[in-house]
Structure 1
Amino acid sequence: MANPNSSANLLERLFKLSENRTDFKTEVLAGFTTFLTMCYIIIVNPDILSLTGMDFGAVFVATCLAAAIGCFVMGLIANYPIALAPGMGLNAYFTFSVCLGMGVNWQVALAAVFVSGLIFISISLFKIREAIVNAIPMSLKFAIGGGIGLFLALVGLQKSGIVVYKEATIVGLGDITQPSVLLVLLGFFMIVIMHHFKIKGAIIISILAITIIATLTGLSEFKGVVGDVPSLAPTFMQMDFAGLFTYSMIGVIFVFFLVDLFDSTGTLVGVSHRAGLLKDGKLPRLKKALFADSTAIVAGAALGTSSTTPYIESSAGVAAGGRTGLTAVVVGVLFLLCLFLAPLAQSVPSFATAPALLFIGVLMVQGITNIDWEDITEAVPAFLTIVFMPFSYSIADGIAMGFISYAVIKLCTGKAKTVPYMVWIIAVLWVIKFMYFGG
């Protein structure tokens, strides 16, 4: 006869529930909470990546599987309540900067993501990753997040038709009386109001609500809710490494590496701090957590999606009591169950995801308040980082201008000794890239 306590004992051994002052019920609830706040990605990610020519259904499956793999590794190996999925910002860079902006085939872009993941794995085995993060000035870290937020907002405004191209002014206000535009505005304010009242799943609720309204008014076609899992074949192992060995693609790999470096490390530390998991200001088992992140990037690229990264939305699960990797495992299981919701995902019109991009932009830009705006040598590089991303329509160019200007301004104001050596290296690499290979 099976021991009724065997399952409980297994969970205790795997996740140390008692040691972390939590229990099975609390962890499951936390997992559901985190999932509701981030499951919008199963709709938004395929919507963005499909603009490159990638098959929507295959990317949908790759998104669910990459998220599940990342959550399982984080939960079972690192034992942290932190969920992972293909990252916003990184998917925008993949689509709009690399594929559409540089004319790179998505197969080559996936290879770049794969290589960046391998680099992550190699440096995560040592303390190189931590050294790089610690060497980057805080003003540039916050500025990169803020710039990506504005970039996502611009993408959302364009997708919705609120902002359009105008020959005289480059950009201008579109026809805001169009039904789709009005639905975007409605969706955005729905998210804001629900977020204010701390309603879980505000973004996904808004997407589904706008989809229902669009279907009822004939603006989109409803294809069902549950159906067969789409084929992964169109994107699985479709990476093109032969087209990767060019100087411009080396720069692409570098940006994938740099953006995910800040995003993932910052999220790991931030969520762990909220959960009270830091010991003397440091994160125990950091190497295992970084390994989970790196593994998810490599697996995601092989499956057919842009970089997978820890989600700041995990803090919602932490607020609900999540303290162990069981929370992340629950999120992973829920992502697997979403594989059968492909018809629903394909029923969502493009403009229904625009409010999500706008709101995520709001959340990401909040970090710029932590920049020391009183110190002009910190403020100007941060400002250039932020504005160059949307105005040049390139996350990479924004990062480049930030590092170059930081080094130059500090040098010319007699503060060269305060600049970490890593900043000099990155700035010089970008200068060489612009001089010999252009923008």
Structure 2
Amino acid sequence: MSTSKGFLEKTFKLNANKTNAKTEIVAGITTFMTMAYILIVNPLTLADAGMNFDGVFAATAISAFVATLVMAFYANYPFVLAPGMGLNAFFAYSVVLGMGYSWEFAITAVLLEGLIFIVLSFFNVREAIVKAIPMSLKNAVSVGIGLFIAFIGLSGAGIVKTGKLIQEGSEVIPNSGGLIVELGNVTSPGAIVAILGIIVTGFLLIRKVKGAILIGIIFSTIAGIVAGITELPQNIFTDVSTIGDSLSKVAFKFQFDQIFTIDMLIVLFTFLFVDMFDTIGTLVGVASKADMLDENGNLPKAKQALLADAVGTTVGACLGTSTVTTYVESASGVAEGGKTGLTAFTSAILFGAALFLAPLFGIIPTEATTPALVLVGLFMMSPILKINFEDFTEAIPAFLTIIMMPLAYSIAEGIAFGMISYVILKVLSGKFKDVSPVMYILAILFVLKFIV
């Protein structure tokens, strides 16, 4: 026991970070359970593009395992990675079904993206972008992510409906209210489970119960079984003999003859843009809330953290899945007290285990993660107090960053609106020196992105 404690202390520096193994492990379990849905949703999404479900499931679990291990041991941060939502939808519905390319073409673009990010990380390009973001926007990113993940949780449980088109069973139909967002059916079994979970988790937080968010997820899952929105599997183990055969259907399926085409350039640029600012936004936002930023507002070891998603994306592409990125759900582990790579290591082990226990992890319904996402969204709001609302050149860009993340359903788009408005307002106000050269370049690139 003392040997294992010594290893954990030496590896993750628990005492220096004012934490302990129990807290970190609970935080890791919490993060994993909050984002375990990706193990099912990602294969379902990429299956629509013609990929093998079981193969993508294995690729999802393994790529999350590898990328999160890099984060744990190389960066020693409590951030967890997996194939990203949004990026997988762009892969399946825009590139493959919309533009008509093969999924092999799309997976080649993901491989190139990962390799480029590895190079950019080694040359500190992405780290320079993180440092260039002003502190007001870094705090705003944290708040925006809080609203964003709460929105994800509420819409996932059907408490709110999103978009002018809504899902009714297997059909997509017009939203009768014609609103961008409207109240959902709060008396449906899923919504009731989520609401009860919020109340129970909130009560546990009030009572300062350790592991409140994790307990809330477990309670909501059990409630979901009782309500009939999920059910216990007949067999909790994966047929190990089929894993290799499933992976062979999606792994290393590249179209290298398409690398030097204009079409590849367009698709690759979109992957690069969205992933870069989703990852940077998540790292900055969660780190800001966890007080991991230094006195200059920078994230120590940003290079190591950014390299984790670059490696994960490259490995994921080789195995057969879309872009791997840092998850906003990492905030749930941070809210439980996770401060070091031991949190990430715990989540990584669970992703590895999920490869062999797929049916078991499939029972966690979306509604069971809603309480965690909503209440973590609350925790992410506190950095708003650090924004100077008396200086409108700081306040307006911060507000646009915050509000556009949930409304545009994108961390990257929120950052884009914030950065562009920040540069324009500072220049118009004659405060040129407040804007770094990197910010000017990024603002121009964001404008070009919207135009093109």
User: TM-score of the superposition, structure 2-length normalised?
Assistant: 0.74
User: After alignment, is 297-306 or 173-182 more displaced?
Assistant: 297-306
Opposite residue 257 of structure 1, the aligned amino acid is M
Shift of 1:257: 0.9
The share of aligned pairs that are identical, in percent, is 35
1:85 aligns with 2:81: yes
1:72 aligns with 2:69: yes
SS in 1 for 2:362: helix
Q: C-alpha separation between the residues in 2 aligned to 1:425 and 1:40? A: 39
**Mapping 1:10-21, distance limit 5 Å:** 17=10
1:171 aligns with 2:193: no
Opposite residue 94 of structure 1, the aligned amino acid is L
Q: C-alpha separation between the residues in 2 aligned to 1:214 and 1:373? A: 43
1:261 corresponds to: 280
1:361 aligns with 2:377: yes
SS in 1 for 2:181: strand
Instruction: Identify which of 369, 387, 396 aligns with 1:371.
Output: 387
**Mapping 1:18-37, distance limit 5 Å:** 29-37=22-30
Asked if 1 retains the 8 angstrom alpha-carbon contact of 2:189 and 2:227, the reply is no
1:210 corresponds to: 220
Instruction: Identify which of 403, 406, 409 aligns with 2:422.
Output: 406
**Cα offsets for 1:212-254 (capped at 9, x unmatched):** 2232343333214621157452654467775962436513411
Q: C-alpha separation between the residues in 2 aligned to 1:247 and 1:56? A: 27
Asked if 1 retains the 8 angstrom alpha-carbon contact of 2:144 and 2:406, the reply is yes
Asked if 2 retains the 8 angstrom alpha-carbon contact of 1:176 and 1:182, the reply is yes
Instruction: Identify which of 142, 145, 151 aligns with 2:142.
Output: 145
Q: 1:112 to 1:147 in 2, by over 3 A?
A: farther
Q: C-alpha separation between the residues in 1 aligned to 2:71 and 2:94? A: 34
2:172 corresponds to: none
Q: 1:116 to 1:201 in 2, by over 3 A?
A: farther
User: After alignment, is 118-127 or 180-189 more displaced?
Assistant: 118-127
Asked if 2 retains the 8 angstrom alpha-carbon contact of 1:43 and 1:345, the reply is yes
1:192 corresponds to: 202
1:125 corresponds to: 122
User: TM-score of the superposition, structure 1-length normalised?
Assistant: 0.76
2:326 corresponds to: 309
CA RMSD across the alignment = 4.2
User: After alignment, is 420-429 or 198-207 more displaced?
Assistant: 198-207
Shift of 1:176: 1.5
Q: C-alpha separation between the residues in 1 aligned to 2:297 and 2:434? A: 24
Q: C-alpha separation between the residues in 1 aligned to 2:446 and 2:384? A: 23
1:160 aligns with 2:157: yes
Shift of 1:376: 0.6
**Cα offsets for 1:267-319 (capped at 9, x unmatched):** 57886959xxx8999988765555445323432444425424384566578x5
Q: C-alpha separation between the residues in 1 aligned to 2:56 and 2:33? A: 14
1:251 aligns with 2:276: no
Q: 1:155 to 1:62 in 2, by over 3 A?
A: same
1:52 corresponds to: 45
**Mapping 1:379-390, distance limit 5 Å:** 379-390=395-406
Q: C-alpha separation between the residues in 2 aligned to 1:292 and 1:206? A: 30
Which consecutive residues of structure 2, in runs of 5 or more, have no partner in the other structure?
162-174
Shift of 1:378: 1.1
Q: C-alpha separation between the residues in 2 aligned to 1:382 and 1:280? A: 18
Asked if 2 retains the 8 angstrom alpha-carbon contact of 1:220 and 1:349, the reply is yes
Shift of 1:375: 1.0
Asked if 2 retains the 8 angstrom alpha-carbon contact of 1:114 and 1:298, the reply is yes
User: Between Structure 1 and Structure 2, how many residues are aligned?
Assistant: 417
**Cα offsets for 1:17-50 (capped at 9, x unmatched):** 3995869xx9753552332221214522235435
Q: C-alpha separation between the residues in 1 aligned to 2:406 and 2:130? A: 24
Q: 1:302 to 1:361 in 2, by over 3 A?
A: farther
Q: C-alpha separation between the residues in 2 aligned to 1:19 and 1:216? A: 40
